[in-house]
Structures are given as C-alpha cells and as structure tokens.
Amino acid sequence: MKVGGKHYRTIYPVGDGGGVEVIDQTRLPHEFALVQLHSLDDAVRAIADMVVRGAPLIGATGAYGMALGLLSDATTPALEEARRRLVATRPTAVNLRWAVDEVVATVAPLPVAERAAAAFACAAELCDEDVASCAAIGEYGKQILAELARKNPGRRINVLTHCNAGWLATVDYGTALAPIYKAHDAGIPVHVWVDETRPRNQGASLTAWELGQHGVPHTVIADNAGGHLMQHGQVDACIVGSDRTTAAGDVGNKIGTYLKALAAHDCSVPFYAALTGPTIDWTITDGLAQIPIEERSADEVRWVRGRTALGEVVAVNVLPEHSAAANPGFDVTPARLVTGIITERGVCPATAAGLRRLYPEM
C-alpha cells in the first residue's frame, strides 16, 4: 500500500534488527505516525492498546514481540513467559497464538545464543507469507467482483464491508479489501460501503482512510444503514474479514458482522469472509460455543474520539454520566449465513468439507 505515494508495509524491522516499526493506528485518520517497538513490553502494549490491530497484523507483531523479548533473555522460561504475555493480549484473533507458536517451535530446539536471530528470521518469513496470501486472496476475490460486474454492465459494483480488514489489518493488501484493491486496479468499477464500526470506528477511521489513499470510491455509513441499503438493491456483495474461523466455517469477526450477515441472507446478497489459513482454528467446530469473545473496556463505548472544527483531536463522552456500558468486541456469524470463504488457496463453501478440500494437510 502507498501512503502519500510511498510504499509501506504495516510492520518491518529497523535499527540493525533491534526493533520494528509500526503505524500507530490509534492516531489515524488524523495523523500518520510511525512508532518503534524495541522490547517485549513494547509489543505487548502495542497489541493491547490497539496501536496495531487486525488479526494478521496482531500475529505479525506477536512474532516480532517474541524476537524482541529473546534479545534480552532467550532462556526457555523467558520464552514461555513471552508467549504467555503476548497470547493474553487479544483473545479472539487466533493468528496471534498461531504466530507466537510458530516462533516457539522454530527457536525452542536451538541453543539459547541462536534463538533471537532465528525468531527475527521466522517473524520476517511469516510477514512475507501474509503478504503473499493476501495478494492471492485479492486475485480470487477479484474474480467474484469481475463476475458481478459482467452481470451488471454499465454500473458500479457496491461492496459492503465491516470493520477494517484491509492493508492496515495485515502486513500488506488486506483480506476483505484485497479483492477491492485488485478489482479497482484492474478497472472494475467498484464502490465500497464502509460501516463506521462502533465503538472504535475502525471503518470510519481506518478503512475509509486506506481506501482514500488508494483512490477507491467509498462512502462511510452508520452501522445501522446496511440492512436498508441491502433491501433496496444497493449492495451487490458483502466482504468481511475474520479473527477466528472454525474448522466448520463459523466466522468470528468484529462485533456487528452477524447482523450484516442476517440482513444479507434476508436480501439474498452474497456474504463472503476473506481470510488467510492462520485465521482458521482447526481445533474447534462450534463458533458460538468455542470462539472466545474479547470483552473490551466500556470506555470505548463511552468515549468517541474525533477532530473538532478547530483541528484539535479530542475524546468526548457520549453517554449519560451514570449509565453502564458493555463492549463485546466480536461476534460469530454461523457458517449457514456465509456464502463462501475467500482464502489464499481459492474460494470454498463455509463448511468443514469446503475448508478441508483447500487445506487437506490440516
């Protein structure tokens, strides 16, 4: 992805291997700022405070977090403690556990003195894999949008997306947005309905920002508008990301995704989840019962951040002083509401058999 004409990944090593640089996503869209992480503590904080977020990027940061931790202590107890602390930061996105475990499996058999370097190499490899996977998702998803364009000549194709499953949520390209970028670049007229995605507004702040950087036509809508647009034929497809998808195709994603899927089902609008292999949790089959849902601070519901007319970025309280607030961060869309899963290996039905056909080794 390009920002102001310059290509960026969302995470990359800096300073002779002693740190990594990331985009501070808490400051977008008002400010594009890079921050460096130099320790396990930095990585834990960056994930927990959502400086970085989005399942694949959380995984990448977790992998580099392990490497940064091993720089100061590469003994086996320290390795286990780093794993425990990182995995505890965000419970829903399974990419985190997967990436951290990949690093552990790579370095644990090595002598202590070789572990940090091996962890950095492993993290870099996982990042490259994520980029390649997201690019492949883009190609497969583009075919779906091309087919919709072929069936609807002379008009734009309207895609609704929820939260941010774009470049900012991955190392590059995105999952749900990769097909949109590839279609746009190929000249397919695509327009995106961007759910604002309360309470943290990842759609309004992040998805709208990155689509704008790439020049993709888009319109931000209130979270409640999607059903109405679908009833009136203004949505050709929904594409969302996922933080954890079960082996049977239930899709865990940002809170509110389920409501979009219900509306899409009622209106016969195809509903796709785009995700890379590491988002599939092969150990579970019942999303409602088994996907852990992160409960985040009620302050995220209470306080909304934005820029005043005078240009100052402030947070304002939108609740009565004594009202309670609750903030479940994710929900589960049952597989029966998902038209298809777009992966780096192709598109499959949201079923155990469909996923197994694409990932026979699992």
State the Cα–Cα distance between residues 179 and 140, nearest whole angstrom: 7
Binding mask 329-358 for ligand MRU (x = CB under 6 A): x-----------------------------
Kindly tell me which of 69 and 241 has the beta carbon lying closer to ligand MRU. Answer: 241
Query: What torsion, rounded to 10 degrees, do the Cα atoms 316, 320, 322, 328 define?
Result: -70
Site for ligand MRU (CB under 6 A): which residue of 54, 65, 203, 287?
54
User: Which one of 170, 201, 205, 343 is in contact with ligand MRU (CB under 6 A)?
Assistant: 170
- Kindly list the distances between the CA atom of residue 184 and the CA atoms of 143, 192, 216, 353, in Å, as whole numbers in the listed order: 12, 11, 7, 32
> Could you tell me the CA-to-CA distances from 160 to 205, 226, 253, 267, 279 in Å, in that order?
16, 8, 15, 13, 21
Specify the long-range contacts of residues 308-314, CB closer than 8 Å, at least 24 apart: 313/27, 313/30, 313/31
Distance CA 73, CA 309 (A): 49
Q: Is 16 a catalytic residue?
A: no
Which CB atom, from 53 or from 265, has the smaller least distance to ligand MRU? 53
User: Please, which of residues 269-328 interact with ligand MRU by CB under 6 A?
Assistant: none
Task: State the Cα–Cα distance between residues 175 and 130, nearest whole angstrom.
Answer: 10
Could you say which of 243, 250, 281, 331 is catalytic? 243
Shortest Cβ 163–ligand MRU spacing (Å) = 4
How far is 346 from 85, CA to CA, in rounded Å? Answer: 34
Q: Which of 22, 28, 46, 56 binds ligand MRU (CB under 6 A)?
A: 56
**Binding segment for ligand MRU among 48-56, 137-145, 149-157, 223-231 (CB under 6 A)?**
48-56
CB of 309 to ligand MRU, least distance (A): 28
Cα Rg, the chain, nearest whole Å: 20
Which positions from 221 through 250 interact with ligand MRU, judged by CB under 6 A?
Answer: 241-243
Q: How far is the CB of 36 from ligand MRU (least distance, A)?
A: 21
Rounded CA gap, 27 and 46, in Å?
A: 13
Cβ closest to ligand MRU, residue 94 vs residue 116: 94
Minimal distance in Å, beta carbon 92 to ligand MRU?
A: 8
Name the residue nearer to ligand MRU (CB basis): 49 or 80: 49
Of the listed pieces 146-154, 163-171, 309-317, 335-343, which binds ligand MRU according to CB under 6 A?
163-171
Strand arrangement of the beta sheet that strand 251-254 belongs to: 280-281, 244-246, 251-254, 330-333
Considering only residues 92 to 151 of the shown chain, the ones binding ligand MRU according to CB under 6 A are: 93
**Nearest Cα to Cα of residue 319 among 302, 304, 306:** 302
Q: Which of 11, 28, 53, 218: binder of ligand MRU (CB under 6 A)?
A: 53
Count, residues near ligand MRU per rule CB under 6 A: 17
Neighbours of 341 (CB within 10 A): 25
Is residue 201 near ligand MRU by the rule CB under 6 A? Answer: no
Residues 6+ apart with CB under 8 A from 296: 327, 328, 329
Nearest residue (CB) to ligand MRU, 158 versus 253? 253
Give the residue numbers annotated as catalytic, written as ranges: 243
Binding site residues, ligand MRU, CB under 6 A: 53-56, 93, 163, 165, 169-170, 175, 202, 241-243, 253-254, 329
